[in-house]
């Protein structure tokens, strides 16, 4: 009898264990960021109750490869204004697994970009087609220590790269920029006669220039490998349609197709570096098709990177090429105020990209000085703002929004589809089986959705103007 009772007790405990779920819940509002909530306030019911949304466990969508940001020179110079301890604390918060944002994949420029200290490339010796004068000396002051410190906290950090401009001598206008500045405070020295325009090739369309530029990429990757930094993938050009006052270079799709298919692709294949098409900043899928349908280029293209207006092409490209990797390569950058309103806009961007097949989501500026002004006069947002006068820093709203995803949605997670009238949310299932819900209440009043997952219904009370992450573990 005693044996039977003991067995029944064990069975009861086991059944109870199967039903028990552990729920973590964190919330951010305009007044308080990353506040842990009491999970007992979540009411759990079985089927039959009315629901506002349903998370579908069957037929998962794309796999998430990771989240990250970009290593820019002005990110490093702003962090360098802080004490060594504060700088290390920030990089640990960003990159140490399980600590903060868990960043696992980040971008870097090949030479100068718009948030560099000034223009530079790795070889400004005109006619040096053999790259004898190639040098990454500039980067030892900024990008290399920046990346090394990040990799100290996450040795497995993946780095990919793209140029904003080739060396000036490889361009028809012999200048790093494409458009006249028009601002005396932020000059670029470009003459009206040197201006380019969208839909044209500013890169010299000649075999020896193509070959030299592919060699330039290879030299860059090899030089960084020698410093212990592995570049896993490159994209041929940042925003190849955009004629900017800062480092930029317009290309036609056919021009990039020639470069990738006949020069860059073969060079990168020899050294084991992947190529993706991008970054794509127009909602024109035909520009992408130019390379993906080409016999030569398509052999090398492993995915496509989209940013800004390119978001309008993401859905169709994912539908047309469902196995293709999609990167969101640069979150739109705001105006330097880092306010709640723009954070809410950033949520819409994240929801759009991730709902349309994106595998990797990259923020833009990691850190900037207060005001976020670039060398060429553009004020932008950042995850961290540094006050160089007081040598203090703060994490901005968009940092916490990124953390609502990246702290819990880990590489290998799969997105789950969500249906119902309450659709301001995204759902994921991690490799360990844990479920992650990232939810926004955009209203100025409390909302109380009931969310069905499998046989369970979770009823929540969400504060006005708030972001939430729920993690449900068995």
Q: What is the DSSP letter of 262?
A: I
Which residue reads 């789950």 in tokens? 416
Q: What local confidence, expressed as pLDDT, does residue 192 receive? A: 97
112 neighbors 118 (Cβ within 8 angstroms): yes
Which residue reads 């990919």 in tokens? 160
Q: Is 16's pLDDT higher than 80?
A: no
Q: Is 8's pLDDT higher than 80?
A: no
Q: What local confidence, expressed as pLDDT, does residue 162 receive? A: 98
Summarised one tens digit per residue, pLDDT across range 85-134 is: 999 999 999 999 999 999 999 999 999 999 999 999 999 999 999 999 99
Please give the mean pLDDT across all residues of the chain: 95
Summarised one tens digit per residue, pLDDT across range 215-247 is: 999 999 999 999 999 999 999 999 999 999 999
Structure tokens at 243: 């004629």
Q: Of the ranges 30-34, 47-51, 58-62, 197-201, which one carries the lowest mean pLDDT score?
A: 47-51
Summarised one tens digit per residue, pLDDT across range 193-206 is: 999 999 999 999 99
For residue 45, what pLDDT band results from cuts at 50, 70 and 90?
confident
- Give percent of the chain with pLDDT exceeding 90: 93
Q: Cα–chain-centroid distance for residue 113?
A: 16
Summarised one tens digit per residue, pLDDT across range 364-373 is: 999 999 999 9
Q: Is 419's pLDDT higher than 90?
A: yes
209 neighbors 172 (Cβ within 8 angstroms): no
Summarised one tens digit per residue, pLDDT across range 253-286 is: 999 999 999 999 999 999 999 999 999 999 999 9
Report, in this order, helix, strand and coil percent for the chain, each rounded to 5. Answer: 30, 25, 45
Summarised one tens digit per residue, pLDDT across range 129-149 is: 999 999 999 999 999 999 999
């Amino acid at each position: 009898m005693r044996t039977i009772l003991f067995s029944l007790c064990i069975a009861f405990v086991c059944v109870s264990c199967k039903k028990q779920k552990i729920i973590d819940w964190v919330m951010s509002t305009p007044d308080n960021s990353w506040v842990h909530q009491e999970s007992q306030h979540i009411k759990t019911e079985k089927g039959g109750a009315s629901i506002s949304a349903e998370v579908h466990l069957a037929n998962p969508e794309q796999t998430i490869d990771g989240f990250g940001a970009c290593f820019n020179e002005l990110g490093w110079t702003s962090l360098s204004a802080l004490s060594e301890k504060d700088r290390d604390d920030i990089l640990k918060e960003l990159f140490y697994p399980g600590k903060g944002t868990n960043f696992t994949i980040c971008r870097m420029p090949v030479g100068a970009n718009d948030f560099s200290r000034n223009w530079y490339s790795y070889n400004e010796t005109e006619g040096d087609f053999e790259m004898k004068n190639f040098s990454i000396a500039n980067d030892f002051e900024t990008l290399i220590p920046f990346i090394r410190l990040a990799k100290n906290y996450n040795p497995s950090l993946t780095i990919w790269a793209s140029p904003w401009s080739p060396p000036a001598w490889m361009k028809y206008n012999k200048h790093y920029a494409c458009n006249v500045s028009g601002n005396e405070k932020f000059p670029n020295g470009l003459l009206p006669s040197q201006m380019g325009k969208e839909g044209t090739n500013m890169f010299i369309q000649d075999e020896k220039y193509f070959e030299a530029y592919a060699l330039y990429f290879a030299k860059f990757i090899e030089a960084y490998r020698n410093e212990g930094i592995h570049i896993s993938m490159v994209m041929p050009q940042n925003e190849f349609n955009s004629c900017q006052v800062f480092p930029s270079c317009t290309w036609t799709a056919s021009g990039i197709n020639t470069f990738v298919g006949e020069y860059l692709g073969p060079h990168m294949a020899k050294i084991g570096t992947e190529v993706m098409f991008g970054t794509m900043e127009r909602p024109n899928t035909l520009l992408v098709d130019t390379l993906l349908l080409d016999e030569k280029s398509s052999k090398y293209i492993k995915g496509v990177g989209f940013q800004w207006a390119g978001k309008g092409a993401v859905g169709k490209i994912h539908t047309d090429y469902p196995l293709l990797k999609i990167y969101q390569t640069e979150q739109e950058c705001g105006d330097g105020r880092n306010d709640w309103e723009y954070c809410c806009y950033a949520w819409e961007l994240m929801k759009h990209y991730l709902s349309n097949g994106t595998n990797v989501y990259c923020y833009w500026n990691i850190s900037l000085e207060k005001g976020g002004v670039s060398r060429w006069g553009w004020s932008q947002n950042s995850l961290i703002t540094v006050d160089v006068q007081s040598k203090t820093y703060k994490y901005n709203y968009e940092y916490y929004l990124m953390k609502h995803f990246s702290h819990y949605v880990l590489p290998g997670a799969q997105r789950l589809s969500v249906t119902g009238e309450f659709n301001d949310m995204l759902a994921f299932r991690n490799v360990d089986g844990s479920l992650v819900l990232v939810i926004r209440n955009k209203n100025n009043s409390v909302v109380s959705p009931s969310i069905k997952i499998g046989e369970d219904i979770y009823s929540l009370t969400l504060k006005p103007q708030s972001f939430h992450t729920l993690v449900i573990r068995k």
